[in-house]
Amino acid sequence: MSTLDKFLEGDVFALSRVISYVENQRDDYQKLLARLYPRSGKAYKIGFTGPPGSGKSTLVDKLACRLSEQKYKVGIIAVDPTSPFTGGALLGDRIRMQNLTSYQDVYVRSMATRGSFGGLAATTKEVALVLDAFGKDYIIIETVGVGQVELDVANACDTTVVVFVPESGDSIQAMKAGLMEIADVFVVNKTDREGANRIITELESILELKREKEKWEYPLVSTQAINNVGIEQLQSRILAHRKFISENGTLKQKRKMQVKTELKEIIESKIKKVLEKKVFSTLNLDKIAEDVLKGEDDPYSAGERLLDKADLF
Amino acid sequence: MSTLDKFLEGDVFALSRVISYVENQRDDYQKLLARLYPRSGKAYKIGFTGPPGSGKSTLVDKLACRLSEQKYKVGIIAVDPTSPFTGGALLGDRIRMQNLTSYQDVYVRSMATRGSFGGLAATTKEVALVLDAFGKDYIIIETVGVGQVELDVANACDTTVVVFVPESGDSIQAMKAGLMEIADVFVVNKTDREGANRIITELESILELKREKEKWEYPLVSTQAINNVGIEQLQSRILAHRKFISENGTLKQKRKMQVKTELKEIIESKIKKVLEKKVFSTLNLDKIAEDVLKGEDDPYSAGERLLDKADLF
């Protein structure tokens, strides 16, 4: 029996193999994704973002356990671009898998940045597609911070949760930096710590303004993930957001936008490969580089010239 | 007098304006870069990478002050993809500028991830080019971790320094994750803290193996940046590496590779823009997205079809 057949039967080892295949962009992996595509679209995607040390993973794991107890199938993708230093991607999987071992329908996958050929955000979305096609009901994608990768991931999610901790410092600064635009649900975790009230008050006053302008409630949930406190409330707010965007048509619009972005990225990545294989290999890049180093050319003018000659469009 | 004229005369405000222009990819910014290109190539680029909290910025600042005292002109680019949470890019510049205020020839610029149109790594390299053309002797680029962005940045640098702290935890894990390949000079900072000897011993034993295989010494420098301890030694090891790669031809090879990478990136970015302007706008992406959502198409097959039709190459 082929790996794909096993995958379609729900074999978890086959799932891991398919994900690795996609992550490594093996031959014809896009054909494989095309075959899986019609099976996707049923999973609801939840993005979690927050600083390292905010207890985000614990929060995600507790939410996943809860969903699993309710007979939902859950996939977790942990994206950690700084993982080599924190040990995240390398050690995280195994530790988390052990904690979740009694929850058979929860699958955890960390995305190592290295080896992510197509860009981290693109690969993350492809892995989400695989989990979706595998039959997961919920896919939770964890990211750190709000860089471009994280924004791309947030746009690929249906509901985005942002996690703060009392130590987060100047939350208003974080707000200004773009979190305000991407978050649907706000969490303050570790509320047993000093400073919890201050950050909650601060966030509430910012959210007031936001709530006035838009119809969604932008809830702020207090949690202590490690003590399993507030998880029920968090789930209920996420589901409320799901209901809200399903009913007012936003979810449909989001999904449509997601497909359009996918399509553009697929075309760009194909063109990039064609460039690498059929164009760059025919150019005498060495000669140009030597001219540039001699001060007789510059890469901007050379690029312009080469494209003019190719007369692509 | 135009901004460019002022820039060429060494006006720092003009420098800031040119950098912003490039960062924001304003009209014809690539033509501007083409004009600056012939003035570049003289700066020596040093990459610093290390976990948040490793005192990397302090180390870089102290090194910059030292170089400045020796009458060198220094540019610092701080790349911090997680900045919205740490406040790095937002607050960092001003604080650092204040510390460096008596060092007129040290210029600091943080790269916020948001608003970096061409991808963070590409923009970082362009800003380095601007600083180079401005007449900086040394450009120091700080990054966090070793994600794809950081690897791209490291490849654009001549010497790469990796910073550890006693708290770094399992340094061997970090080694496995790719630091081994990119670092030319190793630093253990904050050596007054507990665990310093352990991590130094650990790193030394890994470096032994590396030194046996290659001709370079791969030095390990102990520093306490905040107390200005070890900075002289660090500078001397960086300069030794510069001498080593200058004499054995590696620097020339590196520079050539950097130009080739630049050229490819320039072509890719131009094609991406042409796609956006002339191709995507003519396609009925809405219709395709609707078909996909109805389950009658998938973006992978659609992408393939569209490219076949365009018959680009």
Tens of pLDDT, residue by residue over B103-112, are 778 998 887 6
Residue A174, CA distances (Å) to A51, A53, A56, A177 in order: 10, 16, 17, 5
Task: Kindly report the CATH number that applies to the domain delimited by A41-248.
Answer: 3.40.50.300
Alpha-carbon gap: B298 to the closest alpha carbon of chain A (Å): 6
How large is the angle between the packed helices B250-274 and B231-247, nearest 10 degrees?
Answer: 90
**Do the Cβ atoms of A285 and B268 come within 8 Å?**
no
Residue A174 with chain B: CB contacts under 8 Å: 84-85
What's the CA angle centered on A92, arms A89 and A96, to 5 degrees? Answer: 145
The pLDDT score that the predictor gives to residue B90 is 45
> Ranked by mean pLDDT, which of A260-264, B171-175, B183-187 comes out on top?
B183-187
pLDDT (tens digit per residue) in A281-296: 777 888 999 999 888 9
- C-alpha to C-alpha distance for A268 and B276, rounded to whole angstroms: 10
Tokens of A82: 């700084």
The pLDDT score that the predictor gives to residue B97 is 61
The pLDDT score that the predictor gives to residue A49 is 86
Alpha-carbon gap: B70 to the closest alpha carbon of chain A (Å): 28
Alpha-carbon gap: B300 to the closest alpha carbon of chain A (Å): 5
Tell which wins on pLDDT, A113 or A179.
Answer: A179
CATH superfamily membership of B40-248: P-loop containing nucleotide triphosphate hydrolases (3.40.50.300)
By the 8 A CB rule, do B84 and A146 touch?
yes
CATH 3.40.50.300 in chain B is located at: 40-248
Neighbours of A232 (CB within 10 A): 14
By the 8 A CB rule, do A77 and A109 touch?
yes
DSSP-derived secondary structure for B257-303: HHHHHHHHHHHHHHHHHHIIIIITTTS-HHHHHHHHHTTS--HHHHH
- pLDDT of residue B59 exceeding 90, the answer is yes
Q: What pTM was computed for the model?
A: 0.73
Taking CA–CA distances from B303, the nearest residue in chain A reads A267
**Do the Cβ atoms of A37 and B298 come within 8 Å?**
yes
Residue B303, CA distances (Å) to A219, B214, B306 in order: 39, 46, 5
The pLDDT score that the predictor gives to residue A148 is 64
Among A25, A36, A85, pick the best mutation site for testing chain B contact (most B Cβ within 10 A).
A85
Tokens of A182: 């991407």
List alpha helices for chain A, DSSP H: 3-8, 12-23, 29-36, 56-69, 83-86, 88-99, 120-134, 148-155, 171-174, 180-182, 196-213, 231-247, 250-274, 285-293, 299-310
**Does ipTM exceed 0.85?**
no
Residue A304, CA distances (Å) to A168, A240, B244, B251, B266 in order: 46, 51, 36, 27, 9
- C-alpha to C-alpha distance for B166 and B198, rounded to whole angstroms: 8
- pLDDT of residue B178 exceeding 70, the answer is no
**Do you know the residue count of chain B?**
313
Q: What mean pLDDT, rounded, does chain A reach?
A: 84
- pLDDT of residue A277 exceeding 50, the answer is yes
CATH 3.40.50.300 in chain A is located at: 41-248
Percent of chain B whose predicted confidence (pLDDT) is above 70: 83
> Ranked by mean pLDDT, which of A32-41, A204-213, B89-98 comes out on top?
A32-41
**Do the Cβ atoms of A275 and B293 come within 8 Å?**
no
**Do the Cβ atoms of B299 and A38 come within 8 Å?**
no
Residue A116 with chain B: CB contacts under 8 Å: 148
pLDDT (tens digit per residue) in A99-140: 676 777 899 888 765 444 456 778 889 999 999 999 999 999
CB pairs under 8 A between A and B: 227
- In this prediction, residue B168 has a pLDDT band, given cuts at 50, 70 and 90, of low
A51, A114, A147 member nearest B113 (Cβ): A147
Among B22, B85, B94, pick the best mutation site for testing chain A contact (most A Cβ within 10 A).
B85
pLDDT (tens digit per residue) in B155-167: 899 999 999 888 7
Taking CA–CA distances from B278, the nearest residue in chain A reads A313
Lowest mean pLDDT among A91-105, A181-195, A250-264, B22-36: A91-105
pLDDT (tens digit per residue) in A7-50: 999 999 999 999 999 988 888 888 999 999 999 999 999 999 88
The pLDDT score that the predictor gives to residue B89 is 44
Alpha-carbon gap: A61 to the closest alpha carbon of chain B (Å): 22
By the 8 A CB rule, do B130 and B142 touch?
no
- C-alpha to C-alpha distance for A50 and A53, rounded to whole angstroms: 8
pLDDT (tens digit per residue) in B1-47: 899 999 999 999 999 999 999 988 888 888 999 999 999 999 999 99
The pLDDT score that the predictor gives to residue B218 is 95
- pLDDT of residue A85 exceeding 70, the answer is no
Tokens of A35: 């075959």
Neighbours of A177 (CB within 10 A): 20
